[in-house]
Amino acid sequence: MKNLLPRRELGRLFGDVTFREFSHKDMEEIKRMKPQTLFGLALSTWKRIVQFNLLPVSPEALAGDIERKDPEVHAKISKIIGAPVIKDISYVSAAVNGQGRNQRTVAEIFAVRVYPNNLHLADVEFERPVRPADGGAYKDMIGEYTGLFTKVAKNAIRYGKSQGCNYLLLAARSPYHAEIFAKAGFLMEDHIAESRAQELGIGIPMIRQL
């Protein structure tokens, strides 16, 4: 999964790029860096289990954990279902080297194989490495760099099929992002209401069959 990010294309766009990789063996560090992302993918997996009756579980079994946005909820789900929710995990970020030790992240991807056998792209982000002239915030450039996301989607589809995954899942940060992902063949799922998903901060769930 570490090769889902299009490294060659990023190098051509941004020049000197440094990549950082984290895998299942780095789980404790991933928990510290991405607690909300872990919560979101676990919640998405739990909602699918409940909505599609994949296992006989109580829908309210994790109500308190969900309201608290517990980043450890994936471990509790694994205990309930008797199987690991997270089968494999990869977090890769790309940063442009600046002056001294200054670096600016320009891309990241958080990919997880989740129960029962789906590939979940929990985070896919691209950002312009230079702050705007007006001093405003760094801008999410996934719309401008749609070619990069298309490459990510193709890599993810290829990898998912090689692992026998059934679906490719992701969460769109906003309706704007959902439109971009739809162009790559993703459909909005209806098992979590869009407003509720955004309220919980986990994005709009989308799916693509493999």
- Residue 90 burial (CB < 10 Å; 0-12/13-18/19+)? buried
Residue 77 sits in a domain of what CATH number?
A: 3.40.630.30
- β-pairing verdict for 167-172 and 204-209: antiparallel
158 CB-near residues (< 8 Å, 6+ apart): none
Between CA 204 and CA 118 the distance in angstroms is 17
Specify if 1 maps to a domain. no
How far CA 131 is from CA of 100, 109, 134, 137, 167, in Å, comes to 17, 21, 8, 7, 37
Specify if 2 maps to a domain. no
Between CA 15 and CA 48 the distance in angstroms is 41
Between CA 96 and CA 87 the distance in angstroms is 31
* pLDDT of the residue at 133: 47
Specify if 108 maps to a domain. yes
Between CA 177 and CA 167 the distance in angstroms is 19
Q: Which domain holds residue 121?
A: 7-209
Between CA 63 and CA 200 the distance in angstroms is 13
Specify if 22 maps to a domain. yes
Cβ atoms of residues 103 and 96 within 8 Å? yes
Q: Which candidate, 139, 94, 85, places its Cα nearest to that of 112?
A: 85
Q: What's the DSSP call for residue 138?
A: P
Lookup: tokens for 84:
């690991």
* pLDDT of the residue at 26: 96
Q: What's the DSSP call for residue 135?
A: -
Specify if 198 maps to a domain. yes
* pLDDT of the residue at 180: 85
Residue 176 identity: Y
* pLDDT of the residue at 209: 95
Specify if 66 maps to a domain. yes
* pLDDT tens digits in sequence order for the chain, 210 residues long: 989 999 998 888 888 889 999 999 999 999 999 998 899 889 889 988 998 899 999 999 999 999 898 989 999 999 999 999 999 999 999 998 765 456 788 899 999 999 999 999 988 888 766 554 445 444 455 555 568 888 999 999 999 999 999 999 988 877 888 888 888 899 987 654 555 555 555 578 889 999
Global pTM value:
0.85
The count of domains in the chain is 1
* pLDDT of the residue at 78: 97
